[in-house]
C-alpha cells in the first residue's frame, strides 16, 4: 500500500481466499534456469553463494493458493542468472504468469522520486539541508517545525502519518474492491496531516512514512514547473530506454499487457467469498507509489542507478548513506542486523543477509501486487520479484521471505 494513512486502513485481515484455488487452473511450470555461476564475493567481502535452481523453484512454487495467485522471479548479474514463474495470471482463462509482466510497483516508485530530487540537488536547484517549507510555503501544516528536504527522502522528517478519514476506506478488501477507481490528489493526502502531532523531532529518528514522498513529488513539480511524470520521463525513463516504466495519468486505471491480473478475495453479504479483479485501479499514490514498470526495466533502472549513470558522486553517496539514528516504530528495519537502528537511505534501503551479504533496494505493493527489486552494491546479483496476493493482511510475505532466502540468504523487510 502507499499512503501511510491508507496503508494502515488497507491492512486488516481479509476473508479466506480458498475459492481462488478452485477457480484457478493449476500451476504453471517455472521457466528453465540458466546454469548458475560459481559463488562470488559481494562488495562487502561476504560470500555470495551460488544459485540453487531447486530452492528458487520451491520459493515460488505451490501456486495458486488461497493467498497468492501467481509469482515471478528474475535474477541476473555476474553471479548467475535464473528466471521463473508460478501460478496463474488470469483466473478465468488459467493463463500463466508472464515473465515480462507489467507491474504496479507501489513504493518502488520512491526510488525514482528520490533520484529526481537528488538530480535537482546536483543541479543546485534544491538544497537537501534547507527546510521544505522554504520551497513549498503553505503546503505543510503551519504548526510543524522546519523539515529538511533530505529528511523527506530518508524518512527522518518525523512528519505526522495522517488522520483517518472515511474517504480513504475502512481497510477491508470489500471497500477497496468497490472503490478501486476512486482517486485522491497529492494535496488531499498531504492535508491528512493537519492537526496531527509530529512523530518525533526532525532528524532524530527514522520512520517509514509515505507522506514524505507525496511532499517530495510536490517539491519536484514546484521547482521544475513540470509534472512529476514529465520529470521522471525526461530524466530517467527516456535516457535509459525504460519503455515500459511510467507514471500513469491520474485518470488512467489501466495496466498494459502483458500482465497478471490482481485479485482480492471479498466476502459477500451472505458470508460467501469470491475473487474480484482489481487489475484496473486508480494510480493515485503517484510519486509515493503509483508507477508501473516491468522486471526488465526495474533491473535496468537499478543497474544504471548503482553504476552512477543517474547521479554525480556527491548525490550517489547519499543514495548509500543510512543515517545513524534509531528506527521509530517503523514498518521497515526489522531484521536482526538492524538492531533497532535505521536501515533506509534516500530512496532505497539496506538489508544485511544472515550470511553477511549486504543488499540494497526497495519493496512496493498495491492491492493485487507485492514486489521488490534488490541488488548487491557491485551488481553481482540483482533480483526482481512480484507476487499477486489476494488479501490485504500480508500473508503473502512468506513467499517474499522464501524468495529472499533463496536469492540472498536473508529476509527482506515486508512492509512497504
Q: In whole angstroms, what is the distance from residue 129 CA to residue 273 CA?
A: 51
Identify any residues that bridge with 95 across adjacent strands, giving them in sequence order: none
**Degrees (nearest 5) of the Cα angle 136, 140, 142?**
110
Relative to beta strand 263-267, strand 349-352 is: unpaired
Q: In whole angstroms, what is the distance from residue 212 CA to residue 197 CA?
A: 15
For the chain, report the end-to-end CA distance as a whole number of angstroms.
7
Q: Using the 8-state DSSP alphabet, how is residue 153 labeled?
A: H
Cell of 405: 532466502
Catalytic residue check, 172:
no
Nearest to 240 by CA among 307, 325, 323, 189: 307
Q: In whole angstroms, what is the distance from residue 334 CA to residue 312 CA?
A: 31
**Helix or strand or coil: residue 288?**
helix
Nearest to 374 by CA among 398, 396, 406: 406
Q: In whole angstroms, what is the distance from residue 389 CA to residue 412 CA?
A: 17
Q: Which residue's entry shows cell 549486504? A: 358
Cell of 177: 474492491
- Please tell me which residue in 3, 107, 327, 407 is annotated as part of the active site: 107
Q: Which residue's entry shows cell 509515493? A: 288
User: Could you tell me the CA-to-CA distances from 411 to 13, 16, 364, 366, 400 in Å, in that order?
Assistant: 22, 25, 15, 20, 8
Q: In whole angstroms, what is the distance from residue 272 CA to residue 295 CA?
A: 36
Q: In whole angstroms, what is the distance from residue 81 CA to residue 71 CA?
A: 17
H-assigned helices in 10-108: 18-23, 53-59
Q: Using the 8-state DSSP alphabet, how is residue 168 labeled?
A: G
Residues assigned a catalytic role: 107
Amino acid at each position: 500500500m502507499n499512503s501511510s494513512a491508507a496503508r494502515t486502513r488497507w491492512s486488516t485481515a481479509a476473508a479466506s481466499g480458498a475459492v481462488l484455488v478452485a477457480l484457478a487452473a493449476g500451476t504453471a511450470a517455472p521457466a528453465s534456469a540458466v546454469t548458475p555461476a560459481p559463488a562470488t564475493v559481494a562488495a562487502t567481502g561476504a560470500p555470495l553463494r551460488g544459485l540453487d535452481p531447486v530452492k528458487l523453484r520451491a520459493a515460488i512454487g505451490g501456486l495458486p493458493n488461497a493467498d497468492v495467485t501467481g509469482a515471478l522471479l528474475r535474477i541476473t548479474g555476474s553471479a548467475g542468472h535464473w528466471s521463473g514463474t508460478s501460478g496463474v495470471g488470469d483466473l478465468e482463462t488459467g493463463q500463466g504468469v508472464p515473465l515480462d509482466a507489467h507491474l504496479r510497483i507501489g513504493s518502488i516508485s520512491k526510488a525514482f522520486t528520490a533520484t529526481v530530487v537528488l538530480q535537482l540537488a546536483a543541479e543546485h536547484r534544491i538544497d537537501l539541508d534547507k527546510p521544505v517549507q522554504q520551497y513549498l510555503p503553505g503546503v505543510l501544516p503551519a504548526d510543524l517545525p522546519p523539515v529538511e528536504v533530505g529528511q523527506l527522502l530518508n524518512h527522518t522528517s518525523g512528519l505526522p502519518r495522517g488522520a483517518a478519514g472515511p474517504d480513504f476506506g475502512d481497510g477491508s478488501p470489500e471497500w477497496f474492491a468497490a472503490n478501486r477507481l476512486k482517486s485522491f490528489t497529492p494535496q488531499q493526502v498531504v492535508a491528512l496531516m493537519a492537526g496531527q502531532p509530529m512523530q518525533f523531532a526532525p532528524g532524530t529518528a527514522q520512520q517509514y512514512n509515505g507522506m514524505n514522498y507525496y511532499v517530495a513529488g510536490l517539491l519536484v513539480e514546484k521547482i521544475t514547473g513540470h509534472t512529476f511524470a514529465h520529470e521522471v520521463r525526461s530524466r530517467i525513463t527516456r535516457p535509459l530506454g525504460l519503455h515500459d516504466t511510467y507514471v500513469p495519468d491520474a485518470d488512467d486505471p489501466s495496466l498494459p499487457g502483458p500482465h497478471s491480473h490482481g485479485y482480492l478475495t471479498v466476502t459477500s453479504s451472505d458470508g460467501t467469498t469470491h475473487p474480484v479483479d482489481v487489475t484496473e485501479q486508480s494510480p493515485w499514490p503517484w510519486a509515493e507509489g503509483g508507477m508501473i514498470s516491468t522486471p526488465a526495466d526495474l533491473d535496468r533502472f537499478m543497474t544504471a542507478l548503482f553504476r552512477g549513470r543517474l547521479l554525480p558522486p556527491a548525490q550517489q553517496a547519499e543514495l548509500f548513506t543510512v543515517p545513524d539514528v534509531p528506527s521509530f516504530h517503523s514498518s521497515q528495519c526489522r531484521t536482526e542486523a538492524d538492531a533497532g537502528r535505521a536501515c533506509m537511505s534516500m530512496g532505497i534501503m539496506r538489508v544485511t543477509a544472515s550470511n553477511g551479504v549486504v543488499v540494497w533496494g526497495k519493496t512496493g505493493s498495491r492491492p493485487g501486487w507485492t514486489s521488490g527489486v534488490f541488488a548487491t552494491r557491485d551488481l553481482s546479483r540483482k533480483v526482481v520479484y512480484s507476487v499477486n496476493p489476494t488479501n490485504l493482511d500480508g500473508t503473502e510475505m512468506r513467499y517474499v521471505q522464501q524468495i529472499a532466502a533463496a536469492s540472498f540468504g536473508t529476509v527482506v523487510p515486508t512492509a512497504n
